Amino acid sequence: MKHIHFIGICGVAMSALAIAYHKKGYKVTGSDKGFYPPVSTNLAEAGIEFYPGWHVEKMTAKGDPDVVIVGNVAGSENPEWQYVQENKIEYLSYPEAIAKDFVQKNSIVCAGTYGKSTSASILTWVMLEAGFDPSYMFGGISLNDIPAATIGDSDYSVLEGDEYKSARWDNGAKFFHYSPTHVLLTSVVWDHADVYPTEKSYVDAFTKLVSGIPESGLLVVSEKVSEQVIKSASTQVITYGKGEKNEYRYGNVETTKHGVTFDIIHKANTYHLITNSLGDYMADNMTGCFVMAHQLGMKPEDIIKHLASYKNIKRRLEKRFDGDITIFDDIAHSPTKAEKVLESVRKIYIPRHSERPEEIEESREKKRDLSTSDSLRSSSARDDEPRIFVVFEPNTGNRKPASLPGYDNAFVSADEVIIPKLSRVKVDEDEQEKPIYGKELADTIAKTHHNVNFIPDDEKLVDYLLKETKKGDVIAFLGSHGFRGMIGQLVSRLSE
């Protein structure tokens, strides 16, 4: 039995990959800094051996592994990683493993700045329900109770195509490993400044992806993507969006606390869709998946039925508490993603002021400087209307000085922005651009927002939210990290 060891097994994607290999009959083991539910639970229930820390003697207890899959958590001083290299054991990065065992003849890659994980999970669900049995991978925990990765038995694969670097030794985008024949491209808005120091370098990665699709393949692309990227394609191109020029359109979008409803229009046919997924941007994601599924030969009526039964993935406007106060958790870790999420939250909870033109204009003109971290200010919303509080932590790339212009007006849909203590970022000694931290980020956002606070103490932040919020208010936690249990503390205290 082939033995695969994972260095850094506790991430959502890596653990899903490990379980997929285990189900195919491989002996799988893994190590990581720590283990927490639901990942630890999923690994244990699958029967996978794992342990905290980096221990060569445990990794090699029954002999050297045949293959080691190395996560980005493995630094140069990691003893397991050192042993692998010194003993010339075969090793793969996460995307290399996907390319080796998941990518099929018909390789469908869902890519884009935002919407790629969701779109990959939507398309996977639709294809599974239609009986395609694809190999697949998406970076999230499905609320439809399907694994995040599976090696199927057909010649189709559906993969989330991440533009972030593949490994510590490979700065190329993950999606370059997946040999796509079909690409669903949702968006291209500069992100990950730690890997792509300029907007051009970021756009170039997607241009290269699109240009690599074979002539016999297909590019399904949102109208929001620039012509510069689209024109690099040498394959069939189908656009989707709200505009009349698109072959597939969507419209009549209505968003409520229960989900988004909308119409998909193709030629003379209109298909009405009622979903339980929150966020009006889900209409865009689902339309893109509809197009791809339709082009793969599925009947529109069947696609609509499968889309309606889709339940989303965790941390995508996931409602963590629904009482006098509503709490959402979302992975939106960039200003662009945060802006989209907050726009949807405002439309759902404060539809009378979803546009707020006067506040947008005010935030553009008004600049505030936070003199101390204790300068907590109350929200300016009227006493008789709900308010939206956002707690935001960006990913590493959006803490680079080059990314700061992207924060202009990104939070105008929130009544108050709170920056918590930000996670430490490892920085190479020769790196010239140092990451920004909480106070500096708060100051940056405050240049185009009237109400920004920096609260670096988690306990004080929770107390502040409990004190300041009232019935009808919404709290949105946005970021790629877990907020150190603050959401759970809030939920627990609000439930008392």
pLDDT-based confidence at 158, cuts 50/70/90? very high
Domain boundary among 94, 119, 135: 94
- % of residues, the chain, pLDDT over 90: 70
Domain boundary among 50, 73, 94: 94
Query: For the residues 155-163, what does the mean pLDDT come to?
Result: 97
Query: For the residues 437-448, what does the mean pLDDT come to?
Result: 92
- % of residues, the chain, pLDDT over 70: 92
340, 489: one domain: yes
- Which residue is listed with tokens 């197009």? 291
pLDDT-based confidence at 357, cuts 50/70/90? very low
Whether 313 maps to a domain, the answer reads: no
Q: What is the pLDDT of residue 356?
A: 45
CA distances from 36 to 42, 67, 402 (A): 10, 25, 34
Measured distance CA(99)–CA(258) in Å, rounded: 38
83, 106: one domain: no
Q: 100-109, 340-349, 358-367, 426-435 — which is least confidently predicted?
A: 358-367
Hey, what are 121's tokens? Answer: 């999970």
Does the pLDDT at position 373 exceed 50? no
- Spatial contact of 149 and 137, defined as CB atoms under 8 Å apart: yes
Assign residue 14 the CATH number of its domain: 3.40.50.720
Question: pLDDT (tens digit, 9 = 90+) per residue, 4-60?
Answer: 999 999 988 899 999 999 999 999 999 998 887 888 899 999 999 999 999 999 999
Query: For the residues 444-466, what does the mean pLDDT come to?
Result: 95
Measured distance CA(360)–CA(173) in Å, rounded: 35
Hey, what are 196's tokens? Answer: 């792509």
pTM comes to 0.84
125, 87: one domain: no
Q: What is the pLDDT of residue 428?
A: 62
Does the pLDDT at position 274 exceed 80? yes
Buried b (16+ CB within 10 A) or exposed e, 360-375: eeebeeeebebeebee
* Average of per-residue pLDDT values in the chain: 89
Measured distance CA(27)–CA(135) in Å, rounded: 20
Q: Which amino acid is at 123?
A: L
Question: pLDDT (tens digit, 9 = 90+) per residue, 295-321?
Answer: 999 999 999 999 999 999 888 889 999
Whether 352 maps to a domain, the answer reads: yes
pLDDT-based confidence at 443, cuts 50/70/90? very high
Terminal-residue alpha carbon distance, the chain: 51
Q: What is the pLDDT of residue 382?
A: 58
Q: At what angle do helices 116-129 and 300-308 cross, to 10 degrees?
A: 120
Q: What is the pLDDT of residue 372?
A: 37
55, 80: one domain: yes
Q: 114-123, 298-307, 392-401 — which is least confidently predicted?
A: 392-401
Q: Which amino acid is at 305?
A: K
Domain boundary among 308, 327, 356: 308
Query: For the residues 72-81, what does the mean pLDDT come to?
Result: 90
* 11: Cβ contacts below 8 Å, ≥ 6 apart: 32, 39, 71, 73
Assign residue 112 the CATH number of its domain: 3.40.1190.10
205, 256: one domain: yes
Query: Which domain does 26 fall in, by range?
Result: 3-94
28, 110: one domain: no
36, 119: one domain: no
**How many domains, the chain?**
3
Does the pLDDT at position 94 exceed 80? yes
Beta strands in 242-325 (DSSP E): 248-255, 260-266, 269-274, 318-322
Whether 136 maps to a domain, the answer reads: yes
Helix (H, G, I), strand (E, B) or coil at 444: helix
Query: For the residues 96-104, what does the mean pLDDT come to?
Result: 96
Measured distance CA(16)–CA(23) in Å, rounded: 11
Question: pLDDT (tens digit, 9 = 90+) per residue, 191-231?
Answer: 888 889 899 999 999 999 999 999 999 999 999 999 999 99
- Spatial contact of 8 and 51, defined as CB atoms under 8 Å apart: no
213, 71: one domain: no
Q: What is the pLDDT of residue 210?
A: 97
* 409: Cβ contacts below 8 Å, ≥ 6 apart: 360, 363, 364, 448, 449
Assign residue 480 the CATH number of its domain: 3.90.190.20
pLDDT-based confidence at 371, cuts 50/70/90? very low
74, 126: one domain: no
